[in-house]
Amino acid sequence: MILIYNLVSFIALIVYSPWLFFKKGPESKVTFLDERLGRSEYKKTDIWVHAVSVGEVIAALPFLRSLKKEFPEAKITLSTITYTGQKIAREEFPEADRIMYMPWDTGLCIRKAVRSLSPRVFITVETELWPMLFMTLKNAGSKVLLLNGRLSQKSFKGYRLIRPFMRKALSNVDYFYMQGHGDAERIRALGAKPGLVGFMGNFKFDAFSHKTAEPLAWANLIEGRVLVAGSTHKGEEEIILDAYKKIKKDFSDLRLIIAPRHPERFKEVEDILKKGKFDFIRRSEIKSESVVPVNPDKPGRGAPKGRDFRFATTGSGQLSVETTRRSGDSYRVATDNKQQTTDCKVPDIILLDTIGELSRLYSRADVAFIGGSLQPFGGHNILEPAFWSKPIIIGPHMDNFPIASVFVESGAAYVVKDPGEFAEAVERLLGNSEKARQAGLTARSIVDNNTGSVEKALGLVRSYLPKTQ
């Protein structure tokens, strides 16, 4: 069956190749194509880690940094598939000896990479199962580990239809370290040997380093209460905006930050906002590093209300300010040892059209919504706002994060299905600060009680890669 898979994968590559050639995003199209097609030049590595996109890269960062500290002399290669994942990998893990795109999973593309890289250990993160790659690595003598493994009920049902093939593909993995006991049970049911499956918890509980745990300076510009709608998908923005209009009637100071999950939807969401005649600004129009709050009694909440502002640091490190279109309330900005007052207004809505800021932006939220859950996309990372002790709203579709049920049962998260329920839940939290505070503290306690997965993963890697360097 593996030969049939290889043929199907090769045909898929041919069909998909126009998209590869004309895909927007990668800074170097030649490098992107060479690496995706397995034509690049590769050098020997000790550890090859694969994390498909932004979420997986961010979740794996504490593990990657600890891995480098544990094996400082080992050469580490990190691969992704998406260019957004590649961007975050380069920014956040420069310690890697190489960051590259994963070759397409067909023998024609992967053989050269496996032969040249020849890793002692290959690690794939979360749900990335690559039959041809795993078989080729195994035949070359590499150890293959799946860390932070996740297998949703929906994916399990699909894989179960090809169980004989999955059993063969999984036989090339040396150990499966899964996020939850349910994930472990499902991977065993697909054919993984019970003795090679373990429970490690979730990297995302450990995913906040000293760098990612710092709030964003520009977010301090926002006065009033803030609803952050993170990782939204098609069909969700309209629900959120309908709810927001209802909430604004009783909470006029509420600001909304919408963060679409995929960059290619930034323009689409902008058009939705324009069509609805909403007062908004794109995050990319805000350029700032430091702001002095107007009201010292409200740290982090002291800047402009309303609309239209631009900030940029000068060559001397000073902060210059350019206001556009219409003016409003005043605020102070720091310029070396001086302060100046400028009139401007922050809009009601900010469209987050940047990458890698959402997890820290939750620090400014009064209420956080987790996208991909109002529509059947499986939901996204509920742990990010929980880290900042924020009350959380989710939709009914959180299949990718089963731990969401723990948040709901503990009173740290609330499930909504439509604009009316969404508005009611937000109003209930905004109108009862003690209830919101307790929900946030409960959310943080769930995070604190589930850390330690990074050390478990390191322990596993040590058993396959003794420190002989």
Domain CATH code at residue 392:
3.40.50.2000
371 or 339: which leads in pLDDT: 371
Mean local confidence (pLDDT), 440-463: 93
Same-domain check for residues 74 and 167: yes
The per-residue pLDDT for 328 is 38
Q: Print the domain residue range for 153.
A: 25-201+452-464
Q: Read off the pLDDT of residues 86-126 as tens digits, 9 standing for 90 and up.
A: 999 999 999 999 999 999 999 999 999 999 999 999 999 99
Q: Where are the beta strands (DSSP E) in 277-402?
A: 280-282, 309-313, 319-323, 330-335, 338-343, 349-351, 367-370, 392-394
Average pLDDT of the chain is: 86
Residue type, 257: I
Q: Is the pLDDT of residue 304 over 70?
A: no
Mean local confidence (pLDDT), 337-342: 42
Residue 391: inside a domain, yes or no? yes
Same-domain check for residues 69 and 194: yes
Find the DSSP H helices in 347-465: 358-361, 383-387, 404-409, 419-430, 433-448, 453-464
Q: Is the pLDDT of residue 367 over 90?
A: yes
pLDDT band of 2, cuts 50, 70, 90: confident
Same-domain check for residues 278 and 394: yes
3 or 425: which leads in pLDDT: 425
Specify the pairing of strand 349-351 against strand 280-282.
parallel
The per-residue pLDDT for 153 is 87
Residue 7: inside a domain, yes or no? no
The per-residue pLDDT for 265 is 96
Residue 416: inside a domain, yes or no? yes
Same-domain check for residues 182 and 194: yes
Q: Is the pLDDT of residue 65 over 80?
A: yes
Residue 319: inside a domain, yes or no? no
pLDDT band of 307, cuts 50, 70, 90: very low
Q: Is the pLDDT of residue 335 over 90?
A: no
Lowest-confidence range among 124-128, 370-374, 422-426, 429-433?
124-128
Nearest to 130 by CA among 191, 50, 38: 50
Mean local confidence (pLDDT), 40-68: 94
Q: Is the pLDDT of residue 317 over 50?
A: no
Residue 167: inside a domain, yes or no? yes
Tokens standing for 420? 């009316």
Same-domain check for residues 142 and 260: no
The per-residue pLDDT for 324 is 35
Same-domain check for residues 139 and 174: yes
Same-domain check for residues 252 and 177: no
pLDDT band of 152, cuts 50, 70, 90: confident
Nearest to 324 by CA among 302, 345, 305: 345
The per-residue pLDDT for 313 is 35
Same-domain check for residues 246 and 132: no
Is the pTM here over 0.75, yes or no? Answer: no
Residue 14 phi/psi, 5-degree rounding, is -60, -45
Residue 307: inside a domain, yes or no? no
Residue type, 75: K
Give whichever of 319-333, 341-355, 414-428 has the largest mean pLDDT.
414-428
The per-residue pLDDT for 102 is 96
> Above pLDDT 70, what percent of the chain?
84
The per-residue pLDDT for 28 is 77
Same-domain check for residues 101 and 225: no
| Cα end-to-end span (Å), the chain | 39
pLDDT band of 218, cuts 50, 70, 90: confident
Same-domain check for residues 157 and 247: no
371 or 335: which leads in pLDDT: 371
CATH number at residue 85: 3.40.50.11720
Same-domain check for residues 239 and 146: no
**Dihedral angle over CA of 98, 101, 102, 103, nearest 10:** -110
Residue 232: inside a domain, yes or no? yes
Domain total of the chain? 2
Mean local confidence (pLDDT), 257-280: 96
Same-domain check for residues 370 and 421: yes
Residue 251: inside a domain, yes or no? yes
